[in-house]
Amino acid sequence: RIDRRRKFHATVLLRALGYSDDRLLEYFYQFEKLDISKVKTGEDLETQSYFRVMDPEIILDQRPQLQITDPKSGEVLVKSGQRINKRLLKKLEAAKITHLNVTLNEIKGRIIAKTIFKDGSEEILVPCNTPLTTELLTTLAENGVKEVELLHIGPQKTGSALRDTLELDKVISSEQALIELYKKMKPGDPPTLEAAQLMLENFFFKRERYSLSKVGRLKINEKLELDDPLDNTVLTKVDILKTVKYLLELKEGHPNRMIDDIDHLGNRRVRSVGELLETQFRIGLVRMERTIKERMSLQDSETMMLHDIVNAKPVAGAIHEFFGSSQLSQFMDQTNPLSEITHKRRLSALGPGGLTRERAGFDVRDVHSSHYGRICPIETPEGPNIGLIASLATFGRVNEFGFIETPYLKVENGVVTDKVEYLSAIEEEKYSIAQANAKLDKKKAFINDFITSRVGSEFSMVLKENIDYIDISPRQLVSVAAAMIPFLEHDDANRALMGSNMQRQGVPLVKPKAPLVGTGIEHQAALDSGSCVVASRTGVVDNVDAGRVVIQA
């Protein structure tokens, strides 16, 4: 994180990346053209005519100080001070109005968007980001400038924050910005341009020093509406620009810009055992690399043997430590087949890189709408770990990025198809999903016209033609243990929690029998737990001992 050590203006970083003020203003703001071709020098500026080039996107919701009339009929289309809504905008477009008359007061103080050069030379007449004054207007008219581009700073747009910061920031050029950045990050070192450029490259743009990982790139692409390839695991200049723009629009209350919900499963991923082991292995390799480099620098290279410099103990030690003393390395609970399968499907928010019981608040422990079909809302321990340790839902699976997916049947034109699609919590937000108990006819079409369905995090009545998916099963919502409770929907949630936890403590019987009332999942749970010995072919049991069962096929 570049801003951990010292605070500095975001514009310093943007300028250090090589962006000029002109390019930054062009990227962050909309421009509005002002026609000043009718301005005459030596005359009173108050009485002269100024025209805005009409841009429908910009003038919408604005209140002009001068009334707007139809040039042909003379009819008043917009009164002075009246807000231009979509209806009035259509009137203006129908009247083919291309320019709007404005007063001097309306344009005074507006910001010039682009640097204006003297005719036929590279000499700057007016730099960009300069407020328009009467003196400046006179200068522009004297130099024959016909049109000026101004910044449009409106509500729910980028706001004036970036433009104000550019004006206040004393660092002007890209080179100055790099030096300033280097001074902030490494206060004692003498700043040079080459060292500053190398430091910035190493921070974000070198694969050896920085990695977003595929998941990071996926999330950035999704948030900032990019389509970069997933193997591009370093930041790009566009990423930084778009991030700043997103934050500025969020500050101004843009309707499509929202703060992420930290408890949403689209923002929480499962780190599998393999991934944790990979991290430990990498730590072991780094330790081994250090010792190899030390030994190579000390010993004579001619008499050196491979076994003299390579010592695998750091790697083996890291792996043994992970399996032996890690908080997440637990002895498997094998009281009965259910306890075994539940332990294998457990999800924990504790452990290295996670939360601690003391720091975890109520929000983290609570059930979230995105848990539907992914994490069981019932099965969790009582006591201090409540909500921090959960169970994977019956049909849930973890995808390659670590996000939990749940299956749905595709619905086309109000008819349920046999096509099964797995959706993550992020993908699911866009669709209307009906419940598994929705009434269907023999052709799998919805009987009712309006169906209770989930849209995002809310339940609503949706027309059957607008339904996209339907749940696969009512037990999709809960874990294996909770799915074993008969008539679960009639239970109090606290009792169901106790019941699903207590089933795991049941001691197996010498002579087991099928339950009188069951839910039908018992057989599959016992098979999948791995605790039952299952014959691959039918036959007669020939011989049994403590180590094997012989079947005569």
Assess if residue 460 is contained within a domain: yes
The pLDDT, as a whole number, for residue 466 is 94
Assess if residue 51 is contained within a domain: yes
**DSSP calls for 103-130:** -HHHHTTPEE-S-EEPTTSS-EEE-SSE
Assess if residue 29 is contained within a domain: yes
Query: What are the structure tokens assigned to 494, written together?
Result: 């606290």
User: Which residue(s) pair with 409 in the sheet?
Assistant: 420, 470
Q: Which amino acid is at 155?
A: P
Q: With 0-12 CB in 10 A as exposed, 13-18 as middle and 19+ as buried, what is 403?
A: buried
Q: Which amino acid is at 106?
A: E
Residue with tokens 């087991």: 512
Strands (E), 358-515: 389-391, 397-398, 404-412, 415-424, 432-434, 450-455, 458-463, 469-471
Q: Looking at residue 190, what DSSP letter applies?
A: P
Assess if residue 56 is contained within a domain: yes
Strand-pair category, 432-434 with 469-471? parallel
The pLDDT, as a whole number, for residue 144 is 84
Q: Which amino acid is at 415?
A: V
The pLDDT, as a whole number, for residue 298 is 80
The pLDDT, as a whole number, for residue 126 is 87
Assess if residue 552 is contained within a domain: no
Domain termination site, one of 131, 153, 168: 168
The pLDDT, as a whole number, for residue 246 is 93
CA 553 to chain centre: 56
Domain termination site, one of 134, 168, 202: 168
Work out how many domains the chain is built from and give that number. 2
Q: In CATH, what number is assigned to the domain containing residue 464? A: 2.30.150.10
Assess if residue 84 is contained within a domain: yes
The pLDDT, as a whole number, for residue 3 is 52
pLDDT, averaged in runs of 10, over the chain (553 residues): 70 92 91 85 78 84 83 82 85 84 86 86 86 88 87 80 88 89 85 90 88 92 92 92 92 88 94 93 93 83 80 92 92 93 95 90 94 96 94 96 96 95 94 95 94 92 95 95 96 96 93 91 90 88 90 89
Q: In whole angstroms, give the CA distance from residue 61 to residue 85.
A: 6
Q: Which amino acid is at 177?
A: A
Q: In whole angstroms, give the CA distance from residue 165 to residue 167.
A: 5
Assess if residue 179 is contained within a domain: no
Assess if residue 138 is contained within a domain: yes
Q: What are phi and psi of 517, to 5 degrees?
A: -125, 120
The pLDDT, as a whole number, for residue 146 is 86
Taking each helix axis from N to C terminus, what angle separates 237-251 and 213-224, rounded to the nearest 10 degrees? 50
Torsion of CA 224, 228, 230, 233, to 10 degrees: -80
User: Over the range 524-536, which residues count as b (16 or more CB within 10 Å of their CB) and which as e?
Assistant: ebbebbeeeeeee
Q: With 0-12 CB in 10 A as exposed, 13-18 as middle and 19+ as buried, what is 385?
A: middle
The pLDDT, as a whole number, for residue 38 is 82
Domain termination site, one of 424, 448, 472: 472
Assess contact for 255 and 155: CB atoms under 8 A: no
In which domain, by residue range, is 123 found? 11-168
Q: Looking at residue 46, what DSSP letter applies?
A: G
Taking each helix axis from N to C terminus, what angle separates 21-28 and 237-251, rounded to the nearest 10 degrees? 60
For residue 404, which of 272, 226, 262, 214 has the smallest C-alpha distance?
272
The pLDDT, as a whole number, for residue 101 is 85
Direct distance between the N- and C-terminal alpha carbons of the chain, in angstroms, rounded to an integer:
65
Assess contact for 318 and 280: CB atoms under 8 A: yes
- Please tell me the chain's helix, strand, coil percentages from 3-state DSSP, rounded to the nearest 5: 35, 15, 45
